[in-house]
Amino acid sequence: KNEVEQSPQNLTAQEGEFITINCSYSVGISALHWLQQHPGGGIVSLFMLSSGKKKHGRLIATINIQEKHSSLHITASHPRDSAVYICAPGSSNTGKLIFGQGTTLQVKP
């Protein structure tokens, strides 16, 4: 079993829809990161969470440490949100990021 499981793997949405991407992990973490990667390569860090909830514009990230689960929500989705979203818990043991396989999101106009 992978240390990090993301779902869904692929997601297609219509513009304006509310989107949720889930992440479950099995390792001890110091913080959990959500990353966004657009076609062409560049990775942007969206959130770093160690508890509770964070909001940035239309993006919301939540984490439940006891259940080892995090979610990324996108409200009022837009075609420019189309990207790969990666959940990456930071191991409390090694200090390394453990990357999920990513969720490929396509938002259609």
Partner 1 sequence: DTEVTQTPKHLVMGMTNKKSLKCEQHMGHRAMYWYKQKAKKPPELMFVYSYEKLSINESVPSRFSPECPNSSLLNLHLHALQPEDSALYLCASSQIWRRGVTTDTQYFGPGTRLTVL
CA distances from 61 to 39, 47, 94 (A): 22, 7, 24
Count of residues binding partner 1 (CB under 8 A)? 25
User: Which residue, 66 or 94, has its beta carbon nearer to partner 1?
Assistant: 94
How does strand 10-14 pair with strand 4-7?
Answer: unpaired
Q: How far is the CB of 18 from partner 1 (least distance, A)?
A: 25
Q: Which of 30, 51, 64, 106 binds partner 1 (CB under 8 A)?
A: 30
- Per the rule left: phi > 0, alpha: psi between -120 and 50, beta: everything else, 80 is alpha
Binding residues (CB under 8 A) for partner 1: these are 30-31, 33, 40-45, 48, 50, 86, 88, 90-97, 99-102
